[in-house]
Amino acid sequence: MKEKIFELVKEYMDARKQEPFTPGKSIVKVGAPCFGHEEINNALDSLLSLWISQGKKVIQFEKEYAAYVGTKHGIAVNSGSSANLLALAILIKAGRVKKGAEVIVPAATFTTVISPIIQNGLVPVFVDIEDGSYNISPTAIEAAITENTGLIMPVHSLGCPADMEAIMAIAEKHNLPVFEDCCEAHSAAVNGKRVGSFGTLSAFSFFVAHNMTTGEGGMIMTNDDELEDLARSMREFGRLKKYEEGKPRFYFTDEQLKDYDERYVFEIMGYNVRMSDIHASLGIEQLKKLDALTDHRIQVATFYEQHLKKYEKHLQLPATPAGALHSFYGYTLLVKDTAPFTRTDIVRFLEEHNIETRAFLGGNLTLQPAYRGEHIRVADDLAMTNNVMNNTFFIGTHSYVTEEQRQYVVDVFDKFFAQYD
């Protein structure tokens, strides 16, 4: 009967085609989950088995994604935000970063890079980003390091890899750990090495709009066995990191507990941020498609570059650093100061023509209400960050952006620029 259900789902998904695109009426979305029958049936398999919490599929997804990224371990959690929160907590617990230490971060990023730093009793130090890649500047990192620095936290913004070779050299010089935020950068690489495999730890998000998705979900990556053990314990309430094989369940004894159930012994304070097998089911199938999904994003970005290059007098197109594989979470455009229009002008025009846009994440996060009054440090004038905050936006590149849709997007840009001939 289960196989019959799977076959019916396949028939349904094969018959369910993307709605016909009507220029000017249909929406060209910034992001969308790109699912087939494989994801649906694998999730159904978990539901029908009645094993819906963390189980064997989570373990499978962890192993397969770690192999893809190029790390020894993957620890699945319920979001990229939780991955950041947990990763910072285990660095502190392991003594790799001291409470109250400073964490060097780009000022132009997303709130869930910064909030977990403060929530863990650390101090974010905001530095500027590079022109073109919009990633944290290695020069700015070096200038911001003091005796209080405990961690460098680069973010691979919108799929563009940060200069990890330069960052790792700085980290080695100053004996500092590196924690990579790769939440928007699945598949991205530097000289063939995947982002997420450079630092002491890294974090990925599998949010619905990202390059691959489990709906909600995230994962911590590391080669460090101690950090892996801590992550697995703290992910799940702070339970015992290792169970002793061959012993009965009611064996745990110390100076306070006697013959206690090992499942209810908590070594450290932890969280409950586990991924479910349902979400892992989606990730297992999405990972099989990730390279194809990334190739499509690159094709869309290449098309936009070819057709928008003629407007470079007024728009700065996204840069791909030498040796980098840019996975294009979105296609980023910066309105130059000399342009006869503002970002608001072009964004409103695009939105009026049903082309979705987004700002560059949180812009300059030092200006956000959430961090006013918090203990932070701003290391420089953040000139490029402010430029990006005020003048940058991005549009979608995902697999549901068809040839017809991307041509429509270019036509709308042409229509907008015709006003300024």
Q: Whose CA is closest to 332, among 182, 131, 136?
A: 131
- How many CA atoms, within 13 angstroms, populate the side-chain half-sphere of residue 98? 8
Q: Are 274 and 77 in contact (CB under 8 A)?
A: yes
Strand duo 377-378 + 123-127: pairing? parallel
Token pair of 343 as six digits: 């970002």
Q: Whose CA is closest to 300, among 15, 7, 31, 21?
A: 31
Angstrom distances, CA of residue 110 to CA of 87, 106, 163, 187: 17, 10, 19, 20
Token pair of 417 as six digits: 């620029």
Residues 6+ apart with CB under 8 A from 279: 78, 206, 214, 215, 216, 217
Q: Whose CA is closest to 194, among 78, 287, 310?
A: 287
Q: Are 140 and 93 in contact (CB under 8 A)?
A: no
Please give the positions annotated as active site: 210
Q: What is the Cα Rg of the chain in Å? A: 23
